[in-house]
Amino acid sequence: MEDGVNSGAVAAVGGAGGAFDARLIPEFDGAGDVVQWHTRAQMLCELRGASLAAVLPLRLTGGAFAVWSQMPVADRGSADAVRDALFTAFAPDPFTAYEAFVSRRLQHGESADVFLADLRRLAALFGGVPDRMLVCAFVAGLPETTRQVIRAGTRAESLELASVLARARAVLSDEQRRINVITVSGGRYECRGTGPVRVGVCSGVSADVNALVVADRPLGFDLVLGMDAVVALGGVTVKSADESVFGCELTEVAGGAAGEPVAARPAPPEYDAELESWLRNGWLQPYDEAVHGPPRGLVPLMAVPQANKVRPVLDMRELNAHVAAYSADADVCAEHLRKWRRHGRRVAVVDLRRAYLQLRLDRRLWPYQTVMLHGRRHCLTRLGFGLNVAPLLMKAVVRAVLSQDSAVERAVSPYVDDLLVDEEVVSAERVVEHFRRFGLECKPPARAEDGARMLGLRVQPVAGELQWSRDCAVVPPPEVVTRRAVFAWCGRLVAHFPVCGWLRPAAAWVKRHVNQLTEGWDDATDDGTLSAQIAYIQERLAGADPARGQWCWTGDRAVVWADASSIAFGVVIETPDGGVMEDASWLRPSGSSAHINMAELDAAVRGLNLAIAWGATEIELRTDSATVHRWLSDALSGRTRLRTRAAGEMLIRRRVSLIRELTEELQLELTVTLVRSAENLADALTRVPKDWVREQSAADGVPAEAAAVGAEDDAAGAGAEGELAASVRAVHERAGHPGIRRTLYFARRDVSCDVPRATVRAVVRGCDICRSIDPAPVRWRHGSLGVKETWQRVAMDVTHYQGRAYLSVIDCGPSRFCVWRQLRRADAVEVCGHLEQMFHERGAPTEILADNDTVFRGRQVAALTARWGVSLRFRAVHQPGGNGVVERCHRSIKVIAARRTCSVAEAVHIYNVTPRDGETTGSAPAAGVYRYAMRDCIRPAAAGESADQEPPAVSDGEQLRVGDQVWMRRRGTRCTDTSRRGVVTSGVSRQVVEVDGVPWHVRDLRPRHESPCRDDGDDAQSDGEAPPIIVDLPSGGDERPADVAADGPPLRRSERERRPPRHWCEC
């Protein structure tokens, strides 16, 4: 872009004394002292009789002109308003002015009057100070010798400011300034004075620095360069005692294996060819000082080798220090990577060709980007790669181009110069043509289904699904182990990859270790433990690289696995289909004393934040901490308050409240599930090899932490493990099959003191005898019998009250509406008749829950449910809680009937009209079934709206599978009785499975492992002693079909009194 203002034009402003040249007032762009500039402009305008408000806008440029242009039109003509706006924008604030006032000292070569004037100017910026305070600040800023002379004078405390200034002039004019420096040995080295000098190198590059002048040669040298001079010359590389190269003389800086720059000559051919193309295209032009003015900056030119090219890059570090970059709106690669993966399969990536070199710079900026090439100064006319504001400028240009076409803007997701195109909206070719019309050239589009590189990841179809993997080979470890080299190596291993698995905590552990071993970034270490850890990572990566996974994710459901240990936090984000989308791991601070429950809660918060970043609204949080599961479940459901007496109770409450508020504000559907540690996917992200923990603990002198996993065992290790398990098994059998704790005691006493608890646990759990005789109780996943829809699932049972039998049916949905029918006989015909009548009145449900009564097991009930298409599910034997909804209803109805001394029908009516929450009529069971206001026998009242919460549905079983051999044990049997054998024939739910056709609860079953040394005689005997199961079947003479028998009316019994024959009664 060219400047549209002709700098050669003469601006004349009319005044009382005639026209005068406005260029007498220098231009102000916001970089200088605005107060001094405004004062000079005001004095000149007053001298020439010109209007200050008319002159000021003509001499404003850059940021200062932007401030003036943003002012209201009415205020632009006011000189005071313009002054206030400029002072507010560019003058130091009172705090900065006060800091400068306090730290202000007399500079070398500066007169006392100038020093005092600057103190007055700074004091005026923060409100001014009294003259006496100004005298003190003036004297404090003078050199030490001058300050001592003035203080030693007569009546120094009562002198006015003018007298102190006069004395300072006299003392400074007669004093020869002495400068003392402290040498390395701690002594003082006297100098004659200071002064600015210019130092340069053979290539012609020079720099202005401050020098100390001494009487004799220091250490026999004419010139000794300090660090300020070395930095001004671009640094120095010392190759030998007689050879050194300054940074400004380098023509190439190539990156080594670990990223450190090294000097190299001559330049590679690719580098020279690339620079020649820059010269041909006009991107690099010879610098003409007569046209562009003196150069403002010299930028070193470097060469960065890449996979198939060498890219010239400008070292903008010094220039970036003077450029203020607004980074709050900068793009983050991880966030854009999540957005890109939320698109479908039909996507393509478009990359701008030499993106930064397609953006032209204004001619006024050319002096700031000059380079030395072939002994001549050139200027870069395009945007240089490495400038801190270059990505923001590229982002603004790309978004401006996209905004010209709404369809293209809707289909493209940009990240700097990379564009992801959703070809469901527009084609990639149209996007390329759209950018070409605005002068931006793009590379040919690459589609994901054909294999493409997207934000550093290789995306390609695998088995019909898009999968991502590492785009480059695994980087070998550094040869010289330094902190900088190890951090660079670990950073390239993990980088921005969404999934890294075990590699994340391992790399973080290695970085923490090398940080403890070294003090500086370039300090080398030969620690054997660190080298072994690096070798372990490299060897395991060679076998299997965990950086890979599923690319696409659609939908709003997510599964969050969260875990924590004494070493790290771990989080895994998974799709409902089981695809891992992202994982994360954070090492805990060394020596952290936070409780493990607090750490588990922190991991849950981190996992929830990561799921929200993906945009998920239905989140299932899975944790293996029972305490965290209880805390969050109670907080989300509101059943009870948080119960804890921990030392960090307030911290726990704050975290739980944070999760609850996130759920409410973002309208999340959050459920918390308790899982076993062995099933937790995040467990691997919280552990490192146990040898690392032991060595670190031995070095620190503390006990080893518990969260560690062993390395891969070889064949010899596996054999030793098998021998140890056999020895523990023998001890377990000799000791009479005790539990884990006592078996561990005997094993460590008789086998080895290093027997791990995990081995003992595996032996005891695999013992078939312990499973069959008085087995230990087991834990199972509790479910819920409730469903979301009314009359979708009903529970039925036959109960008795005051000698009469009743068929009770209750809705398992939100209403909990119940129906009781009196039975003349508790047989299948009577039950089927009442059930079919209910189906005709209210419709058939989808599912019926029942116990194992022979009435419900009969063919009549089976034929009825089959005809209506109703699924019949039986609870586990000996487990009344399997049909707990109807069992609780029995107690409520019977209590009402007994207390009110009323009939069962009236008690059922009262139950159906009573609000379940005890407050609103809408929560009554009848309100969930009837649409009209129901009048009750207690007091007529209108039925309100139902406000029941929807309980979760019963889920399917997981542990036992069809065909598994199990031990069956009825509750209440003696502890010495041997369980019965059985085989799983089908699964009913998570809590109930059918064994040999009979449903059993999982807590009464144990997996059976056949043992050759176990005698089967006792088992057969125990099977024979078990009580038989009696099933009431219809007689063979009844030839009526089951459905006809169920539909027919019940048989009528004769009322005639039958007496036995008389001869039976004779004695």
pLDDT in tens, 518-554: 988 888 999 989 999 999 999 999 888 899 999 888 8
Block residue for tokens 């029942």: 850
Helix (H) or strand (E) holding 888: helix 884-900
CATH for the 269-452 domain, from 1.10.390, 3.90.1720, 2.60.40, 3.30.70: 3.30.70
Domain boundaries 793-928, corresponding CATH code: 3.30.420.10
Q: What is the pLDDT of residue 93?
A: 76
- Please state the pTM of the whole predicted model: 0.49
Q: Give the phi and the psi of residue 340 in degrees, each rounded to 5.
A: -65, -35
**Burial class of 872 by CB neighbour count within 10 A (0 to 12, 13 to 18, 19+):** middle
Cβ of 828: how many Cβ atoms within 10 Å?
Answer: 25
Q: Please report which confidence band the pLDDT of residue 1022 belongs to, taking 50, 70 and 90 as the band edges.
A: very low
The pLDDT of residue 1009 is 78
Q: Do residues 442 and 350 lie in contact, with contact meaning Cβ atoms separated by under 8 Å?
A: yes
Q: How far apart are the first and last CA of the chain?
A: 135
- To the question of domain 557-688 being in CATH 3.30.420.10, the answer is yes
Query: CB 956: neighbour CB atoms within 10 A?
Result: 9
Mean pLDDT to the nearest integer, 148-162? 71
> Hey, which residues does 583 pair with through a beta bridge?
572
Domains 269-452 and 793-928 share a fold: no
Q: In the predicted model, is pLDDT for residue 168 greater than 60?
A: yes
pLDDT for residue 1029 is more than 60: no
Residue 1028 pLDDT class (50, 70, 90 cuts): very low
Task: Supply the DSSP string of 314-355, one letter for each residue.
Answer: E--HHHHTTS----TT---HHHHHHHHHTS-S-EEEEEBTTT
* Residue 20 confidence (pLDDT): 65
Render the burial of 184-219: b for 16+ CB within 10 Å, e for the rest.
eeeeeeebeeeeeeeeebeeebebebebbeeeeeee
**Is residue 582's pLDDT more than 50?**
yes
pLDDT band, very low/low/confident/very high, at 240 (cuts 50, 70, 90):
low
Backbone φ, ψ for residue 31 (5° rounding)? -90, -30
- Chain centre to alpha carbon of residue 379: 44
In the predicted model, what is the mean pLDDT of residues 365-369?
A: 87
Of 173-177, 218-222, 357-361, 1046-1050, the least confident = 1046-1050
What pLDDT does 184 receive? 59
As a whole number of angstroms, the distance between CA 83 and CA 60 comes to 12
φ, ψ of residue 576 in degrees (nearest 5): -60, -20
Q: Locate 184 and state its tokens.
A: 């390395």
Q: 670 with 663: CB under 8 angstroms?
A: yes
For residues 919 and 524, what is the distance between their CA atoms, to the nearest angstrom?
A: 74
Task: Average the pLDDT over each of 255-264, 669-678, 909-918 and give the range with the smallest value.
Answer: 255-264
Domain extents in the chain: 22-91, 95-176, 191-241, 269-452, 456-552, 557-688, 724-772, 793-928
Q: What is the mean pLDDT of residues 176-193?
A: 66
Q: Is residue 1043 very low, low, confident or very high in pLDDT (cuts 50, 70, 90)?
A: very low
Burial (CB count <10 Å: 0-12, 13-18, 19+), residue 603: buried
Note the pLDDT of residue 232: 75
| Mean pLDDT for the stretch of residues 2-14 | 43
In this predicted structure, what is the pLDDT of residue 955? 38
DSSP 599-627: HHHHHHHHHHHHHHHTT-SEEEEEES-HH
**pLDDT exceeds 90 at position 809:** yes
Within 370-494, residue ranges assigned H as helices are: 390-402, 406-411, 428-437, 483-494
Taking the C-alpha atoms of residue 65 and residue 29, their distance in angstroms, rounded to an integer, is 7
Q: Residue 511 above 90 pLDDT?
A: yes
Round the average pLDDT of the chain to a whole number and report it: 80
**Among the listed residues 943, 894, 885, the one whose alpha carbon sits nearest the alpha carbon of residue 914:** 943
Helices 740-750 and 757-765: crossing angle in degrees, nearest 10, is 120
pLDDT, residue 771, reads 86
> Taking the alpha carbons of 394, 395, 400, 401 in that order, is the dihedral positive or negative?
positive
Q: Which residue has the higher pLDDT, 207 or 664?
A: 664
Residue type, 596: I
Place of tokens 């603004």: 396
Using alpha carbons, select from 891, 890, 898, 892 the residue that is nearest to residue 806: 890
Strands 618-623 and 669-674, bridge-based pairing: parallel
What is the structure's pLDDT at 682? 92
C-alpha distances out from residue 855 to 280, 532, 823, 826, 851, Å: 97, 71, 12, 8, 10
What tens digit of pLDDT does each residue of 386-419 get? 888 888 888 889 999 999 999 999 999 898 888 9
- pLDDT tens-digit profile of 421-480? 998 899 999 999 999 988 889 999 999 888 888 888 899 998 888 899 988 888 899 999
Each residue's pLDDT tens digit, 853-895: 888 888 999 999 999 999 998 888 887 777 788 888 998 999 9
Q: Give CA–CA dist 383/283, Å, rounded.
A: 9
Most confident stretch, 217-221, 316-320, 766-770, 970-974: 766-770
| 204-208, 491-495, 761-765: range with lowest mean pLDDT | 204-208
- Computed on alpha carbons and rounded to an integer, the radius of gyration of the chain in Å comes to 44
* 603-649 pLDDT, tens digit each: 999 999 999 999 899 999 999 999 999 999 988 888 878 877 777 88
Q: What is the largest CA-CA distance in the chain?
A: 161
Residue 170: Cβ-neighbour burial (10 angstroms; 0-12, 13-18, 19+): middle
pLDDT digits (tens, 9 = 90+) for 918-965: 888 888 888 888 878 777 777 654 444 444 444 443 334 446 888 889
Q: Which tokens is 719 given?
A: 């054999």
3-class SS of residue 797 = strand
Q: Cβ distance 674 to 780 under 8 Å?
A: no
Q: Are strands 370-373 and 465-470 parallel, antiparallel or unpaired?
A: unpaired
Q: Which of 115-119, 370-374, 376-380, 807-811 has the highest mean pLDDT?
A: 807-811
Residues 78 and 911: their CA atoms lie apart, in Å, by 83
Phi and psi for 799 in degrees, rounded to 5? Answer: -125, 170
**What's the DSSP call for residue 358?**
G
